A and B are shown apart, each in its own frame.
Chain A
């Protein structure tokens, strides 16, 4: 899922300080799971903003709506009738949702309420870590299901660098060396011969080298 972190309240106040009517728009998907932009966080941010404006002696109307998703037309249509009633919308969705709201409601001010961080997994409640960089050419079949692009600090493709020590990365001693994890897993799978196979030079054209990407499935298009 997409992992996001709440933006500091001061930053959000900086965006909306001149507003008289605000919509805080949550998303029921990834940002709900990582507790950055779901219904609960919408309520917390709205309360914090209300307190701020009250302290300033200002009356600002702040509404709360949480959509099923902000990256789909059908759900964003749910605010069609109310979107233009606000001076601004603070979207707590990931960067995709914020942009989709902005595209759909072209003349409305839309601000991000979270920082979108990475594609990751929940290790435990309150702890998420990166697993995928969406590079567009998945090599997990050859690396024991562990991605060196996302998890090796140097994105190395054929084994660890000299900075791997006791299974940890030189960049951060708390960080597992991705290649140590890969080797251990290949060993456990009895597939160490995969480690001997050289992976080809990475084709970054499916990553960002060719500019913004698009997936088109003609079989699904009406």
Chain B
């Protein structure tokens, strides 16, 4: 359980997101993770992010764990009811997955199965409570378990908000922390200062805030995010820098590297590198950070 150990020891911790395959060819997923396993403390395995059907986080995390790579398995309220969520949590722990990250999950209308019925049987707060209950040796029905799990639990926090929305998000984050969350993953951050107000609001709580560093793929992607994601601050200068660069892909990698360095300098607990399908670029980013 190096994730917990490193975070608690105050060491800057690098995480990487590894998207499970859409299909059963697991080789690229395993190979991409294996190439950087020495430098990545744990791999975050999303549970069908954006409601796009893929291999489950449980299955993918198990495969990486079998190759001795630590994972953080996402647990999502969208697709499973309380029975299935608890069953998967027990399965995960028995298979060696000790880090989990609870998410609500996007509506199916975001994804590739628009006609699917969303479950949302329990809320994320209920899920966190359920995990705590499982750890105490009881399921949500109060029935005693034969062997209890012991997870290191995280969640997400929309840290880039402002005004009233930021207050609400900070309150929600505090609820999650009080329910047992030890680390919070933020949306993409390009300037550490952008989430400083959020971090300050959590000063009275014991939690590790881990910003996401997203690998931009183009100027268009940067512009799109700047225009459409009010919770993500991308400075104009950064977009112009990529625009002027002769090798834009290389510049995007450089931006990710510099962002990780800036987060480390700002004394964040770590960073989650999200390459969104470009996991083969992870070694370049890691090389740059070193």
Q: Which residues of A contact B (CB under 8 A)?
A: 201-205, 207-211
Contact call B118/A205, Cβ cutoff below 8 A: no
Contact call A210/B114, Cβ cutoff below 8 A: yes
Nearest to B107 among chain A residues (CB) is A211
Q: List chain A residues, Cβ under 8 A from B115.
A: 201-205, 209
Please list the 6 inter-chain residue pairs (A to B) with the smallest Cβ-Cβ separation, ordered nearest first.
A204-B117, A203-B115, A210-B109, A205-B115, A209-B108, A205-B114
* B100-120 contact mask (Cβ, 8 Å, vs A): 1 or 0: 000000011100001111100
Q: How many residues of B are counted as interface, with CB atoms below 8 angstroms from the partner's CB atoms?
A: 8
Bound complex: CA A202 to CA B117 (Å): 9
Give the shortest distance, in Å, between A149 (CB) and chain B (any CB).
Answer: 11
Contact call B114/A208, Cβ cutoff below 8 A: no
* Dominant secondary structure of chain B at its interface with chain A: loop
Bound complex: CA A204 to CA B108 (Å): 10
Q: List chain A residues, Cβ under 8 A from B117.
A: 202, 204, 207-209
Q: List chain B residues, Cβ under 8 A from A207.
A: 117
| Additional pairs, 9, CB under 8 Å, beyond known A209-B109, A211-B107 | A202-B117, A203-B115, A204-B108, A205-B114, A207-B117, A209-B108, A209-B115, A209-B118, A210-B108
Q: List chain B residues, Cβ under 8 A from A211.
A: 107, 109
Q: List chain B residues, Cβ under 8 A from A201.
A: 115
Q: List chain A residues, Cβ under 8 A from B118.
A: 208-209
Q: List chain B residues, Cβ under 8 A from A202.
A: 115, 117
Bound complex: CA A207 to CA B108 (Å): 12
Interface centre among B108, B117, B118 (most CB of A within 10 A): B117
Can you show 11 pairs from A to B with CB atoms below 8 A apart?
Answer: A201-B115, A205-B114, A208-B117, A209-B107, A209-B109, A209-B115, A209-B116, A209-B118, A210-B108, A210-B114, A211-B109
Q: List chain B residues, Cβ under 8 A from A204.
A: 108, 115-117
Bound complex: CA A201 to CA B109 (Å): 17
Nearest to B109 among chain A residues (CB) is A210
Give the shortest distance, in Å, between A139 (CB) and chain B (any CB).
Answer: 14
Q: List chain B residues, Cβ under 8 A from A203.
A: 115
Q: Which of B92-147 contact A (CB under 8 A)?
A: 107-109, 114-118
Nearest to B51 among chain A residues (CB) is A209
Give the shortest distance, in Å, between B77 (CB) and chain A (any CB).
Answer: 14
Bound complex: CA A11 to CA B109 (Å): 37
Q: List chain A residues, Cβ under 8 A from B109.
A: 205, 209-211
Give the shortest distance, in Å, between A147 (CB) and chain B (any CB).
Answer: 16
Give the shortest distance, in Å, between B156 (CB) and chain A (any CB).
Answer: 20
Bound complex: CA A105 to CA B106 (Å): 32
Nearest to A207 among chain B residues (CB) is B117
Give the shortest distance, in Å, between A107 (CB) and chain B (any CB).
Answer: 18
Bound complex: CA A211 to CA B109 (Å): 8
Bound complex: CA A205 to CA B111 (Å): 12
Q: List chain B residues, Cβ under 8 A from A205.
A: 108-109, 114-115
Bound complex: CA A208 to CA B114 (Å): 11
Bound complex: CA A211 to CA B107 (Å): 8
Bound complex: CA A4 to CA B3 (Å): 51
Bound complex: CA A207 to CA B114 (Å): 11
Bound complex: CA A29 to CA B114 (Å): 35
Nearest to A211 among chain B residues (CB) is B107
Bound complex: CA A210 to CA B107 (Å): 7
* B189-218 contact mask (Cβ, 8 Å, vs A): 1 or 0: 000000000000000000000000000000
Bound complex: CA A165 to CA B136 (Å): 40
Q: List chain A residues, Cβ under 8 A from B114.
A: 205, 209-210
Interface centre among A203, A204, A208 (most CB of B within 10 A): A204
Bound complex: CA A202 to CA B115 (Å): 7
Bound complex: CA A211 to CA B106 (Å): 11
Bound complex: CA A95 to CA B283 (Å): 55
Bound complex: CA A208 to CA B116 (Å): 10
Bound complex: CA A208 to CA B109 (Å): 10
Interface centre among A202, A204, A207, A209 (most CB of B within 10 A): A209
Give the shortest distance, in Å, between A169 (CB) and chain B (any CB).
Answer: 20
Give the shortest distance, in Å, between B203 (CB) and chain A (any CB).
Answer: 35
Nearest to A137 among chain B residues (CB) is B115
Bound complex: CA A203 to CA B114 (Å): 8
Give the shortest distance, in Å, between A102 (CB) and chain B (any CB).
Answer: 20
Give the shortest distance, in Å, between A212 (CB) and chain B (any CB).
Answer: 11
Nearest to B118 among chain A residues (CB) is A209
Q: List chain A residues, Cβ under 8 A from B107.
A: 209-211
Q: List chain A residues, Cβ under 8 A from B108.
A: 204-205, 209-210
Give the shortest distance, in Å, between B107 (CB) and chain A (any CB).
Answer: 6
Bound complex: CA A110 to CA B115 (Å): 35
* B166-188 contact mask (Cβ, 8 Å, vs A): 1 or 0: 00000000000000000000000
Bound complex: CA A204 to CA B116 (Å): 6
